[in-house]
Chain A
Amino acid sequence: MTKYIIRRLLQTIPVLIGVTILVFSLMHLVPGDPAQIVAGEGASEQTVENIRERLGLNESIPVQYGNFLGNAVQGDLGSSIRSGRPVMEEIASRFWVTFELAFYSTILAVFLGLIAGIVSAVRHYTLADTSIMIVALFGLSMPNFWFGLLLIQWFAIGNWMPESLEFLKMRPSGWGDSWRQIILPVVTLGTGGAAIIARMTRSSMLEVVGQDYIRTARAKGVSERLVTYRHALKNALIPVVTVVGLEFGGFLGGAVLTETIFAINGMGRLTIDAIRTRDFPVVQGTVLVISVIFVLVNLIVDISYRLLNKRIDLN
């Protein structure tokens, strides 16, 4: 077990280094002179030179990367070119909004997906199963930003739960006073994930139900109900649990779109605004923070999962 944790940790280090290299290179892969692009067209020679100086672009690439990594480890991601504020500060003020959005979306996706998947598997080849699978296929095929737009439209036209549209009035950050404000963004973001989990749960359940040990349980005289919930479900959830971390990360990334349509002032919006204004330190910062969180969440999911399921020989 300890060996597994150590191996898993050691695997993570090169990935994190790779992530920092990639994020660092963003600035240098830009066609043309990054300082010129940051400064904007028609900026004076002096301005460009100042920016170059401030971004440390005069140093050699390895030195620049070393500085970048050293600063990043200490939580210093440079400053925003537009606002002049430290990138870390910009991110910190918006982090929790996005985190909450992704967190609740994950809960919704898991909850909805599991129920739908189990119902579908237990009643497979019935109308219920077919309907659930068709809905899931649509959920999977729908651009979630479009779904979000439709939701806003319906709620606005129908004048349902007016508070849920409150946040469209642009709050600086946070969800304000009503939990209802988070519903639509969470539904928008979570449904696609629910579709994935439902499909996985169903196929995993159906595969498990065909296993020899299920027949053994029946031969022991175990009732169908217990066969499903005691013997099959526990095995079927093994592959499903492992995607929860992936889903959460996907939601962090997907928040870019959801936050845009709902005008939520989170990290996603910060990223997209920074991209539009070519504020590269901020882009680098948000991309780095989201990826590192994603890698760490997956690490935690893997390890805690393994700890909880010592008995499962995954190989």
Chain B
Amino acid sequence: MKKRILALVLLVCVLSAALTGCGGGSKEDSPENRKTANELNVGIAQDLDDSLDPHKAVAAGTKEVMFNVFEGLVKPTPEGDLVPAIAETYTISDDHLTYTFHLRQGVKFHNGDTVTAEDVKYSIQRCADATETGVLQVAAFSAVTKLETPDESTVVITLAEPANEFLSYLTCAVLPADYDRQDTAPVGTGPFRFVSRTAQDSIVLERFDDYWGTPAQLSKVTFKIIENADTIMMSLQSGAVDLFAHLTITQAEQLGEGFTVAEGTMNLVQAMYLNNGEKPFDDVRVRQALCYAVDKQGVIDQAFDGYGSPIGSSMYPAFAKYFDPSLTDYYSHDTARAKALLAEAGYPDGFSMTITVPSNYQPHIDTAQVIAQQLKDIGVTAELQLVEWGTWLSDVYAGRQFQSTVIGVDASNMTARALLERFTSTASNDFINYENAEYDALFAQAQASYDDAVQTAIYKQMERNLTENAANVYIQDMADLVAVRKGLEGVRFYPIYVLDLSALRYAG
């Protein structure tokens, strides 16, 4: 009897396994079959567990994926310009206070609804008020005094004072007004529509056939979450994924025949971010000592085989207009000077510190290892603490419970403000607790000036302020190595951290 029951159980197991295999009637998930079906598997290093709602997402990795799903009135191009998206045309009044947007006719949301001026108003209002839990306030929208919709397809935005970068902020995603499930089933207007997310496993996007512009080439894209660096290589080589961005040089070199490696810039400010609010990093001399002790080029050579551009402040070279190359070598590698500064600050024998690093980002772990090694020379013992991505977001970024962390910080839109505003003392995302009155004043000044040249000059002063006060130990803008299976083309690099899938296609 027992044997029979066992046999029955086994039979059920086998059957269910067989049936799952048939699920969806799809063929085996191989690169060839995906090519035939015009589908693509993309590997990403982290799950999108902050929020799928574009107004709530904080992680660069989340925004990178959802860039394909959402659009604003305008959107960025690979060249760094802004082009009309949901808006077809816009005019800016001579006093730079009134922006009038004429919406493109018949732009559809992924749920089939047509985009109206009301939706645009709702979306901007939502980010301006940020009364809804989790919505991140867009400070630039606080200058908006009036938000009018004279007709179905016109939006008029009136500002209290001229704001140079205001247009860049209108890349802010436009969402349907009466829809409350953005968190789990996001709806936008982008070339791809969101299909599903399986936590810790995958995110599926499909081509949106009613897209207003050039439709995407691929019919379906599956993002596979692969947090382990070793698994990344295996999944590329085994054919589980066709594209993986942000590889290390060691990984890229091992790819072999089947892949091409596209090289761009990561557009991240990679640094050892220091908690300025906590001992011993509340002392500027200690921070400066670390800056002198860390040899950026050494890090790049040691861990990245020389690929990467050293930086000296919270700005990366892709923002050519704002980037100040003279800051890069402000702290030239000088161990003796670092030691003297430490002694002056009361740490003649150095101290112990912890570098918290998200365990799913091998480049940051490697960087931290080299830094820890370099810090030994000035008597500072740095211990690495590897944490999960979710823990990093909650403890380090949101909770500010850390001493130092190696991470790359992105710009959410193409303005210097997107990188620099976070270090003002009132910014909610000032996770390093940087507080500098002069910096705050400069920022206010930058916002008040409409003249582009003046504003750029002030932003450069802000960068200098961060460098002089050694807010962080700035390292580099990493080289972005993207592995693409041979036969795929159309990888485009932007001056911000996004992965644009709309132009990707199988050649031939």
Do A and B interact?
A: no
